Amino acid sequence: MKFILMLIILFVNNSARAAIDYDLYCNKLSCKDKGKNTVCLRKDEKCEPVKTCAKFPMTGDHREAVRTIHNELRNKFAGGKDNETSKTASNMMVINYDIALEEVMRCYIHSCIFDHDKCRITEKFDSVGQNLYYAENSNPKWDMKDVIKSAANSWYSEIKDVTSDQYDGFHSSSGPAIGHFTQMVWAKTEFIGCAASTSTDKKKLYFGCNYGPAGNVLQTPILKWGPPCSESLDYELYCNELYCDEEKNTVCLRKYDQCEPRQNCENLPMSAETREEVRTQHNEFRNKFAGGKDDEMTNTTSNMMVINYDMELEEVVRCHINTCIWGHDKCRRTEKFERPGQNLYQKTGGDNDLKVVIKSAVKRWYQEIKYMTPNQYDSFYPPKTASTKQQIGHFTQLVWAKTEFVGCAASKSSDGSELYFGCNYGPGGNVLDTSILKWGPPCSVCKNGLKCNEKYESLCGVLLAIPDSAKLDYDLFCKELSCKDEKNTVCLRKDEKCQSTKNCDNVPLTPDHRQLIVDLHNEYRNKFAGGKDSQKTTSNMMVINYDMELEEVHTCHLNTCTMGHDKCRKVKRFNCGQNLYFRRDEHYEVDNIMKTAMRVWYAEKVNMTPEVYEGYHDNGKEVGHFTALVWAKSSLIGCALNLKTDIPDYKYEIYFGCNYGTAGNVFQKPVVNWGPPCSACEENLKCNSKYESLCGVLLAIPGAASQGRPTELDYDLFCKELSCKDVKNTVCLRKDEKCQSTKNCDNVPLSADHRQTIVDLHNEYRNKFAGGKDSQKTTSNMNVINYDMELEEVHTTQRGLYVFVDFGILVDNIGANIYRKTSVLAIVADCKCHLNTCTMGHDKCRKVKRFNCGQNLYFRRDEHYEVDNIMKTAMRVWYAEKVNMTPDIYEGYYDSGRDVGHFTALVWAKSSLIGCALNLKTDIPDYKYEIYFGCNYGTAGNVFQKPVVNWGPPCSACEENLKCNTKYESLCGVLLAIPGAASQRRPTVVVVGAKSQGSCACDLMKCLKVEKCDEGEKKVPYGPCNCCHMCVPEYTDDVDPLNGCTQEVCEKVKCLKNSNCAKDEVRSVYGPCKCCAICIPASLGI
């Protein structure tokens, strides 16, 4: 079963119980208001059964049965598959087994009393829930697995009596019992431990489970509605990987209360608006300082980065700030930043408006500038005085030049008397003996060749879109955002949590879709504002950016598949305009729908009259879609797409629409102001650099790759491990320049569309050749080509912003073609690193960690350039060398004296990975450009005496039993998604293949598959899809993996411990404390 619950499933502990520490339960684990712990109360009997009671012990199989039935029922409920409620839960945790919870329950159940005990806490959980089950049977033959199943189904059956208000805030009821069900599906419960006993005559059975953390907390939501697993921190990641030396991460320390506010502490949630305020305040002070406009310091700063907002930094500081404890936490590391900085602010009483708090906090931090000395800018050190009145650390972190990201959170005491606000920064500042900044002309030494920001002209870099949690605050929409006589759309659909109605399917928009929406709007607006489709130019038309809140609100409306405008769609920042598009069709293609909709909306321009431009009104003709699209003051957009499927005559009803902010089509207000473009921009904005007739700055699309984090190439790896026999690696040779472009050699950043073109052209040529359409034979082993940019970073290219992000790997049921991140990064980086010299010729050593790389280059001089044309021409030229091929070269590659190497590299059957780069040299005589384009291939082709291809029926000799691609039917393997859509989650890999067990290529995995274990050992599954089994000592689950296992323990774990793997394999560590290691075919991407 595939669980849509959050976090991982741990091995069930089948081990024998350790002796109970009664002193612990008596001295430390009593309950404040409920007396002694159950275990302490039964200390004298050593928790053995009372006289009328008999043991009914749990085994490993029984514990597994408990966990399985709970997760199956929770999964059914969270997935909206129960007839009683079709909603889905966004935050329901997977259940794992806990021996301590079982221990306490066993102590109690051995009393054979059918009633709840009063105090059952453990070391791990200071609140423990409980469900009890009782049965009688005149024929006393109890099967524990049947008992577990009956008990769980009995508890779950109470779902029919739960009312909708109970889910939003649990409360006691005088009606039928529901508490067993609510504890069972309590979203934040993560662990369970159960026990059973019988009467001495075996006719009565007592069974119970303890749960941690406890559910059934009064006035607390049982769960949160929303898409499954849409709300979660990966606590295991923070506990197992993101600790600091000897300190646990803040998130890990708060794992068991899920970072919720502590007692007498309330969280003040951040919104897109308050995040914008955080960023604005930081950038305004940084820009003021970097521009030398502060009376305390008139020097200018040459390398200060613009600040953008980061959600992970916010999540971690929220975990800390939700304690309402004043003081810095010790470990706040994230996946992106190893050592984040932190500023804190506390105030007593007064206004709790977050925007006011943010302004006050940042202003106070900045005011420490008056205590700075010139030397401290050059080398940071804390002041020698202990006076808190002369602190400088808040100021220095605020203006630390290399800091690029911030995330903040706030909380208050329950009585409102104290407010706590804090921000985490990445990369962190205040590094001892390190310069805070570099003096010099603003932006003169920006990293990676970045330029001054368009808005903050003394800061380096671009502003990214403000992230939004995309979780609608229904209370806000109901209480504050209703219209005069109408409730807000979001409020009206509160009970359904804005989910799709029956047969109305939402089509999730990707970053590429959102980019297309923005591009089309800005192209139409720029065309109109520039007078290219009218007789006048527009002086105040804003550039359009994408807004996730507008998308969420509009999705809420379109999820009803009802054609017509909703009556109240305002958000906290403004009223919203709206355009809708509808059609019936036999098929749909998202980009086509969007293009058609906007073309239709813009076409209403023919109905416009001068009076409507001057003051919008109904002129009896359809003009409203056009005016909404070009309304000058609108600057934000969010769209949605839904399909209705239960209709006669057609397959689909298509509903597409967009909400605009601020709203257009306001009666008697001008649609635009006429005048020279950008001459009347609001807030003194300037013309956009791309859309030269529109005002303002383009922000990155939410979720797009450009919102990832910057990382560095591992130059030491390329220098120490990846040099060739007598030659250093290209990346190593250019280590000192950080692979940046040389003078007058400009890198042209490749977009997702460019990469798609590269992949498409390669696969079209390869498929044509492999299918015999351009040769007399067909090819049996030619791989499909993929362009996979995991972790694409702000790379060392002049004028090129490259950002790497993690994303889930795409697979289907015909095979796997998955590659390791290190080699992909290296292939692309190596190609850019080489071409950034604008030197024509192959570099001598371009190997990466897993294989050598092939290479094709293309060069020409020209007066202009067009990227797609360059790529198409290059590949046509490379492929044209086919005419020089001879049969013996196909059988074993060699230098025949003719130009064939570009062609053979392009069709080399075993190559499956590509990364390309494009550079322009500008300081040349006679022509405007020298054009350098090239691609690196993995694994390398053109290997002496190796066959270029194997002849035979297409895909009859695919590696790893892969099958023909569904699109390119003569090529082996699966096409992966082109970079462009980002998920900030870590990669999730699903392995598929021939001779499969379920959906796993189990027979391809070299691993131990034991049938039976010895006494004192237990058999546990491991590896992808649990294909493998090993024997481990029964007690290994009690070892804390954070503190490691002793060598003695590891030696007793019976498993493969491969230290060296073959070149075409990767080593995968697994098992208790990672004692074991197996070798897996690299092509599976595990």
Write out pLDDT tens, residues 283-311: 999 999 999 999 888 899 999 999 999 88
- Burial, 1066: exposed, middle or buried (Cβ in 10 Å; 0-12, 13-18, 19+)? middle
Average pLDDT over residues 889-918: 89
Nearest Cα to 917, choosing from 747, 662, 739, 738? 747
Give pLDDT tens digits for 25-53: 998 899 887 889 999 999 999 999 999 99
Q: Reply yes or no on whether the pLDDT at 94 is more than 80.
A: yes
Phi/psi for 576 (5° steps) reads -120, 135
Report helix, strand or coil for 199.
Answer: strand
Residue showing tokens 């934000």: 636
Please tell me the least confidently modeled range out of 585-589, 797-801, 1037-1041. Answer: 797-801
Reduced to 3 states, what is the DSSP secondary structure of residue 38? helix
Task: Return the higher-pLDDT residue of 124 and 468.
Answer: 124
Confidence of residue 965 (pLDDT cuts 50, 70, 90): confident
CA distance 974 to 786: 8
Structure tokens at 778: 């067909």
Among 918, 548, 567, 558, CA closest to 745: 918
674-688 pLDDT, tens digit per residue, is 999 999 998 778 898
The closest alpha carbon to 196, from 205, 207, 186, 188, belongs to 207
The amino acid present at 986, given as its one-letter code, is: R
For 600-641, write each residue's pLDDT tens digit: 999 999 999 999 999 999 888 899 999 999 999 999 999 999
Distance (Å, rounded) from C-alpha 640 to C-alpha 217?
Answer: 37
Q: What are phi and psi of 218, to 5 degrees?
A: -55, 140
Break the chain into its structural domains and give their ranges: 22-212, 235-449, 479-695, 715-961, 1005-1084
CA atoms within a 13 Å half-sphere pointing along the CA-CB vector of 675: 11
Q: Is the pLDDT of residue 971 over 90?
A: yes
Residue 471: is its pLDDT beyond 60? Answer: no
Give bridge partners of residue 931 from the DSSP assignment.
860, 920
User: Distance of CA 616 to CAs 577, 589, 636, 671, 887, Å?
Assistant: 13, 34, 20, 6, 73
Q: Report the candidate in 665, 636, 656 with the shortest Cα–Cα distance to residue 549.
A: 636
- pLDDT at residue 108 in the model: 95
Q: Where are the beta strands (DSSP E) in 447-503?
A: none
Angle (nearest 5°) at CA 772 between 771 and 773? 95
Q: Which CATH superfamily includes the segment(s) 22-212?
A: CAP (3.40.33.10)
Q: CA 1044 to CA 236: how far, in whole Å?
A: 15
C-alpha 841: how far from its chain's center? 39
CA quadruple 237, 240, 242, 243: dihedral positive or negative?
positive
- Residue 269 pLDDT class (50, 70, 90 cuts): confident
Phi-psi region of 497 (alpha: psi -120 to 50; beta: other; left: phi over 0): left
Dihedral, CA of residue 800, residue 801, residue 802 and residue 806, to nearest 10 = -170
Q: Which CATH superfamily is domain 235-449 in?
A: CAP (3.40.33.10)
Lowest mean pLDDT among 213-222, 418-427, 459-468, 810-819: 810-819
Instruction: Note the pLDDT of residue 1066.
Output: 74
CA distance 95 to 12: 11
Compute the distance between CA of residue 655 and CA of residue 563 in angstroms, rounded to an integer.
7
**Single-letter residue type at 85:** T
Work out whether the CA dihedral 253, 258, 263, 269 comes out positive or negative.
positive
Question: Which of 1022, 1017, 1021, 1003 is CA-nearest to residue 1069?
Answer: 1022
Residue 416, sorted as left (phi over 0), alpha (psi -120 to 50) or beta, turns out to be: left
Q: How confident is the model at residue 709 (pLDDT cuts 50, 70, 90)?
A: very low
Q: According to the model, what pLDDT value does residue 55 have?
A: 92
Which residue's entry shows tokens 């966990």? 67
The DSSP output letter for 705 is: G
Task: Report whether 894 contacts 945 (CB < 8 A).
Answer: yes
* Residue 795: band (very low, low, confident or very high) from pLDDT cuts 50, 70, 90: very low
pLDDT of 166 reads 85
pLDDT: which is higher, 6 or 584: 584
Q: What is the mean pLDDT of residues 74-97?
A: 84
Fold match, 479-695 / 715-961: yes
Q: Are 131 and 153 in contact (CB under 8 A)?
A: no
Among the listed ranges 60-74, 234-248, 757-771, which one has the minimum average pLDDT value? 234-248
Report the run of H or E that residue 526 belongs to, with start and end.
helix 511-529
Query: Per this entry, what is the length of the chain?
Result: 1086
Residue 1086: what pLDDT? 47
Q: Is the peptide bond before 442 cis (omega within 30 degrees of 0)?
A: no
The count of other CB atoms within 10 Å of the CB of residue 178 is: 21
Q: Can you give the pLDDT at residue 731?
A: 63
> 407-450, pLDDT tens digit by residue?
999 999 988 889 999 999 999 999 988 899 999 999 998 887 77
Cβ(644)–Cβ(556) under 8 Å? no
Q: Tokens 């993929």 map to which residue?
A: 786
Residue-wise DSSP of 269-300: ---HHHHHHHHHHHHHHHHHHHTT-BTTB---
| CATH number for the domain formed by residue range(s) 715-961 | 3.40.33.10
Q: How many CA atoms lie within 13 A of 822 on its CB side?
A: 13
For the four alpha carbons of 445, 451, 456 and 458, in that order, the dihedral sign comes to positive
- Going by the DSSP 8-state scheme, the letter that residue 636 receives in this structure is E
Strand-strand pairing, 191-199 and 96-97? parallel
Tell me if 197 sits within 8 A of 53, measured CB to CB: yes
For 479-695, which CATH superfamily applies?
Answer: CAP (3.40.33.10)
667: tokens are: 């009666």
Query: Which pTM does this prediction carry?
Result: 0.40
Q: What is the pLDDT of residue 791?
A: 24
**Would you say residue 107 has pLDDT above 90?**
yes
- Closest Cα partner for 1005 from 1083, 918, 931? 1083
pLDDT at residue 763 is higher than 50: yes
Q: What percent of the chain has pLDDT over 70?
A: 80
The pair of three-digit structure tokens given for residue 484, joined into one six-digit string: 């005069």
Average pLDDT over residues 229-242: 71
C-alpha 445/C-alpha 438 separation (Å) is: 8
Q: Which two tokens stand for residue 873?
A: 């021409």
Could you tell me the pLDDT band of residue 808, with boundaries at 50, 70 and 90?
very low
| Amino acid, single-letter form, for residue 53 | C
Most confident residue range from 31-35, 337-341, 997-1001: 337-341
More confident residue, 730 or 85: 85
> CA–CA distance from 947 to each of 1, 591, 854, 892, 910 (Å)?
44, 42, 15, 4, 10
Tokens for 471? Answer: 């979780």
- Round to whole Å and give the CA distance between 324 and 261: 8
The Cα–Cα gap between 410 and 420 comes to: 6
